[in-house]
Amino acid sequence: MDRQQAVEHAVSDFDSGRFLDDLARLIAVPTESQNPERGAELRTYLDQHMRPMLEAMGYTVTLHDNPLGVPYPLLTAERHEGENLPTVLTYGHGDVIMGHEGRWADDRDPWTLHRVEDRVYGRGVADNKGQHFINIRALGHVMAARGGKLGFNSKILIETGEETGSPGLAEFCAAQKVRLAADVLIASDGPRIDPARPTIFLGTRGAVNFSLTVDLREGAHHSGNWGGLLANPAVILAQALACITDARGAILVPEWRPDSLTAEVRAALADITLPDHPDLPQIDRNWGEPDLRPEERVFGWNSFEVLALHAGTPERPVNAIPGAAVGHCQLRYVVGTDPDDILPALRRHLDRNGFEQVQLDATRETIFHATRAPLNSPWVKLAAASLLATTGKPPALMPNLGGSLPNECFAHTLGVPTVWVPHSYGGCNQHAPDEHALLPLMREAVQIMTGLFWDVGDQGGALTK
């Protein structure tokens, strides 16, 4: 077979229904990493589903306990075809967010794949089981077309703790640098910039979660008897939050304003247009940094978010001054921001503005750091040309994703260029009830990845010499 026949073989497999039948078996495993009772399911996913699938494709598969002793095992698989061939590392995560049973439309079960017109519903169908299954399936299509060969060496890493911050992944990659050594990472997660436009992103924004607490006294006190006499922690917290951004959300902490929105990054983002789609929220064009385009704000800049606020009894307010207030917050940040100075910088900023009594605490032990591969990487050029050849559409080339992934484990710890080709879209409801994937997008994704892996087998060797 040639390249076109390999892509057509992928389409035939998808259209036959075999792809969705096999994906349904993966969705059926309730791999909720945030649920402490699902440890057995996480191992089942790797041992009883990924292992036999990959061994049937000629991979040597090994299951690993998490190096931190937490119940998030990992799987590595390797297929070696030649010393002089390039090596491609592929990543995915088999864990999912909580299923939210009973909250899905039409009483759908999150662990059963449901097809409704051009959508397929199920927990993990977009994040991330469907995405890494597409890539594994595409590897199989290339092998079928090449008489059992890929034309490159292939390594696969599947973890089961991404939805809890990938604990142990960094330590695992550091300890397994030889086993995971590769010339490039080609993986899939996150959304396309537009459902109809193939997308490549080269890194991710980092994320730091933290809490701001004002704890003044034990218990609440009657607002009639004590109003005007007792400082209100909720008011103090609101004022402290207000000094972090201006009224439109533009960041006021000096160290949180990055210097990495270069002319090269601006030029890349000039080709990116955020979609106006009925399934997506309407963009607030007058929110955030005033001198930036919306695309630059989410892909080239930092954003501060308040995720939750609590004071008193919000579910049933009473006439009492609360004793404490807490805000759960997050900074999404790009390359050019010092991750080790994010919270110290905020501490200094709060103190300068008179909020020494506001307590600042990190709320996640594991954070995702910002990453960004070079825009002129030869692997990026190969991938962009391949996607264009398969679809006839120039792919959106994004310096980084707006969200966060453990990409630092590959870009920094393993030191490989990273090329991400997402197979989802922004309205997929990941992390919420009714998670779904678009069937036309999945169908195109199988073609894209089959073509890309074919081209790596044809051209990748020249990039490693």
Q: Residue 274 has what pLDDT?
A: 87
Range of the domain at 430: 3-204+370-463
pLDDT band for 229, please (50, 70, 90 cuts): very high
Query: Domain of 244: which CATH number?
Result: 3.30.70.360
| CATH label of the domain that carries residue 459 | 3.40.630.10
The answer as to whether 53 is a domain residue is yes
Task: Identify the DSSP state of 350.
Answer: H
Above 90 in pLDDT, residue 445? yes
* Average pLDDT for 155-163: 97
CA separation for the pair 363, 441 (Å, rounded): 36
Residue 8 main-chain phi, psi, to 5 deg = -65, -35
pLDDT score, position 174: 98
The pLDDT value given to residue 10: 97
Taking the C-alpha atoms of residue 162 and residue 407, their distance in angstroms, rounded to an integer, is 11
Tell me, yes or no, whether 375 and 445 share the same domain. yes
Q: Is residue 263 part of a domain?
A: no
- Which residue type does 337 have? T
Last residue of a domain, one of 343, 362, 381: 362
What is the total count of domains within the chain?
2
Task: For residues 459 and 354, give the distance between their C-alpha atoms in angstroms, rounded to a whole number.
Answer: 60
Task: Report d(CA 170, CA 407) in Å as an integer.
Answer: 10
How confident is residue 465, by pLDDT bands cut at 50, 70 and 90?
low
Residue 387 lies in a domain: yes
Within this chain, do residues 136 and 239 fall inside the same structural domain, yes or no? no
Report which residue type is found at 143.
M
Question: What is the structure's pLDDT at 182?
Answer: 97
Q: What is the DSSP letter of 145?
A: H
251 with 332, same domain? Answer: yes
Q: Which residues touch 162 (CB under 8 Å, ≥6 apart)?
A: 33, 93, 95, 128, 169, 405, 406
* Confidence at residue 375, expressed as pLDDT on a 0 to 100 scale: 87
pLDDT in tens, 380-439: 999 999 999 999 999 999 999 888 889 999 999 999 999 999 999 989 999 999 999 999
SS3 99: coil
Share the mean pLDDT of the chain: 95
Instruction: Tell me if 82 is assigned to some domain.
Output: yes
Q: Which residues of 215-240 are buried (b: 16+ CB within 10 A; e: fewer)?
A: eeeeebbeeeeeeeebebbbebbeeb
Q: CA 444 to CA 196: how far, in whole Å?
A: 10
What's the whole-number mean pLDDT along residues 40-47?
Answer: 98
Q: Confidence class of residue 366 from pLDDT cuts 50, 70 and 90?
A: low
249 and 222 in a common domain:
yes
Last residue of a domain, one of 323, 341, 362: 362
What is the Cα 277 distance to its own chain's centre? 21
- pTM for the model stands at 0.89
Query: Among residues of the chain, what percentage have pLDDT more than 70?
Result: 99
- 136 and 245 co-located in one domain: no
In a domain, 288, yes or no: no
Q: Residues 444, 374: one domain? A: yes
Q: Which residue has the tokens 């073609």?
A: 447
pLDDT of 360: 98
Per-residue pLDDT at 368: 78
CA atoms within 13 Å, Cβ hemisphere of 365: 6
Tokens of 261: 């929105």
State the Cα–Cα distance between residues 30 and 97, nearest whole angstrom. Answer: 10
How many whole angstroms from its chain centre is CA 279? 20
Same domain, 115 and 193: yes
Least confident range from 225-234, 300-309, 400-409: namely 400-409
Chain segment 56-96, per-residue pLDDT in tens: 999 999 999 999 999 999 999 999 999 999 999 999 999 99
Question: 427 and 337 in one domain?
Answer: no
Look at residue 461 in the predicted model and tell me its pLDDT: 81
Same domain, 240 and 353: yes
Give the confidence band of 365 by pLDDT, cuts at 50, 70, 90: low
Tokens at residue 149, please? Answer: 């060969």
3 state DSSP class of 236? helix
Q: What is the pLDDT of residue 278?
A: 73
β-sheet bridge partners, residue 360:
212
The mean pLDDT of 115-133, rounded to a whole number, is: 97
Question: What is the arithmetic mean of pLDDT over 44-53?
Answer: 98
333 close to 370: Cβ distance less than 8 angstroms: yes
Same domain, 171 and 117: yes
- Asked whether residue 346 falls in the same domain as residue 455, the answer is no
83 and 41 fall within a common domain: yes
Q: Where does a domain end: 310, 329, 362?
A: 362
Using DSSP's 3-state secondary structure scheme, residue 60 falls into strand
Which pLDDT score is estimated for 98? 97
> Is residue 19 predicted with pLDDT exceeding 80?
yes
Mean pLDDT, range 278-295, rounded to an integer: 88
